[in-house]
């Protein structure tokens, strides 16, 4: 019955219904993807933290190629990128280390929150798109009344049906998107807090590692002078 009503609807209403159905499909596809992805992130983050804490401080900069097995862990990816950037430089300063870590942390947070704008867009626009279809359906009903010169259920029913259907479709597309946005935004905030805390620890370990690698050389130079 619903399909038959859509097929008999005006072109504008068909376009509105198509947009809303497409938005709903996109929203649910992203919800399923993010549920799986964030579960992997949580599991891999936990595994990486255990691995990182059990590693030798002096070795973690050289072993960054092993971190691929912990992806999509944001902590592993950030550590990998930071270690690669530092290892490629002959001389590195504390200020430079801080900037590298800060930039990589921002990149990771932007990456894990990249789909949030889609939820926000669907949540905010779908009700208005449905409302447009509602208005158009009512206008169509009045047009039929003026065209036929009579008022009856058979005249106004198709337009009212279109109006109510597009309203329902707008809400069906918007409500899951609103819930998903709030749910995953909370996930992003928790991961961002974890990245911020880990960034401070990572910076301290990198500085400690670099200083410990320089000290033997300095001590050797002093002993040679003696």
Assess whether pLDDT exceeds 90 at residue 26. Answer: yes
Average model confidence (pLDDT) for the chain? 81
Number of domains the chain contains: 1
On the question of pLDDT at 77 being above 70, the answer is: yes
The single-letter DSSP state of residue 67 is G
The predicted structure's pLDDT at residue 101: 87
pLDDT band for position 226 (cuts 50, 70, 90): very low
23 vs 155: which has the higher pLDDT: 23
* Average pLDDT rounded to a whole number, residues 30-41: 95
Instruction: Taking residues 200-217, report their average pLDDT.
Output: 73
Residue 184 pLDDT level (bands cut at 50, 70, 90): very high
**Distances in whole angstroms, Cα of residue 177 to Cα of each of 7, 72, 120:** 27, 24, 7
Alpha carbon separation from 113 to 57, 77, 107, 187, 200 (Å, rounded) = 31, 15, 10, 9, 21
Query: What mean pLDDT comes out for the span 61-84?
Result: 80
DSSP state, residue 209? H
Beta carbons of 123 and 181 less than 8 angstroms apart: yes
Range ranked top by mean pLDDT from 75-84, 148-157, 208-217: 75-84
The answer on pLDDT for 138 being more than 70 is yes
Is the pLDDT reported for residue 220 higher than 50? Answer: no
Task: Determine contact, residues 118/34, Cβ cutoff 8 Å.
Answer: no
H-state helical runs in 55-152: 74-87, 94-112, 116-148
Length of the chain: 226
pLDDT of residue 164: 82
CA distance 184 to 95: 33
Dihedral of alpha carbons 41, 42, 48, 53, sign: positive
Higher pLDDT among residues 1 and 49, named by residue: 49
DSSP annotation of 65 reads: G
Tell me the pLDDT band of 160, cut-offs 50, 70 and 90: confident
Q: What distance in Å separates the CA atoms of residue 224 and residue 226, rounded to the nearest whole number?
A: 5
Q: What range does the domain containing 139 cover? A: 2-225
């Amino acid at each position: 019955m619903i399909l038959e009503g859509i097929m008999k609807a005006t072109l504008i209403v068909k376009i509105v219904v198509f947009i809303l159905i497409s938005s709903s499909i996109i929203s649910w596809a992203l919800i399923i993807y993010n549920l799986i992805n964030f579960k992997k992130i949580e599991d891999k983050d936990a595994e990486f933290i255990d691995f990182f804490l059990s590693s030798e401080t002096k070795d973690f900069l050289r072993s960054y190629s092993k971190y691929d097995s912990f992806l999509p862990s944001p902590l592993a990816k950030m550590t990998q990128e930071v270690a690669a950037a530092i290892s490629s430089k002959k001389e590195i300063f504390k200020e430079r280390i801080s900037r590298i870590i800060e930039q990589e942390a921002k990149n990771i947070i932007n990456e894990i929150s990249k789909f949030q704008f889609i939820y926000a867009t669907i949540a905010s626009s779908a009700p208005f798109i449905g409302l447009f279809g509602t208005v158009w359906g009512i206008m169509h009903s009045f047009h039929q009344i003026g065209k036929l010169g009579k008022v009856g259920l058979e005249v106004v029913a198709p337009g009212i049906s279109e109006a109510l259907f597009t309203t329902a479709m707008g809400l069906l597309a918007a409500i899951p998107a609103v819930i998903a946005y709030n749910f995953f935004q909370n996930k992003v905030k928790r991961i961002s807090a974890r990245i911020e805390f880990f960034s401070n620890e990572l910076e301290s370990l990198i500085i400690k590692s670099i200083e410990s690698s320089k000290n033997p050389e300095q001590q050797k130079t002093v002993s040679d002078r003696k």
